[in-house]
Amino acid sequence: MNAYRPLNCDLHDYLEIACMHDYRLLIERLEGPSVEARALTTRTTASKEEFLVVQGDTGQQELRLDRLLAITPLNTGASFGRIVLADSYCAV
């Protein structure tokens, strides 16, 4: 896998809100099919790679943040709409 590119810090707020409110998300990936899953938490590894931990129909999985295109909450009354994550990375 390629070197990790940290997500823009401002966008982390949307991920945290999704986890806090237990949002079900449509998660668009840069490669591979989109995923519908419930946001559980975020996780950072010792090597500083960041993941969104989700629960889907096939179980729990971790999605590396720099491999995500966008997230869209599917819950009625969600506090935000579609958020594009791709190309929104912190300069390292």
- What pLDDT score does 91 carry? 46
Question: For all residues of the chain together, what is the average pLDDT?
Answer: 91
The answer to whether the beta carbons of residues 35 and 53 sit under 8 Å apart is no
Any alpha helices (H) in the chain, and if so which ranges?
9-20
> What percent of the chain is modeled with pLDDT above 90?
80
Domain boundaries in the chain? 25-47+59-86
List all residues 6 or more positions away from 30 whose beta carbon is below 8 Å from its beta carbon: 67, 68, 69, 86
Give pLDDT tens digits for 26-49: 999 999 999 999 999 999 999 999
Is pLDDT of 89 > 80?
no
- What pLDDT score does 92 carry? 45
Mean pLDDT, residues 56-69 taken together: 94
Confidence (pTM): 0.89
- What pLDDT score does 6 carry? 87
| Tokens 């500083």 found at | 48
Residue of 74, 35, 32 whose CA lies nearest to 58:
35
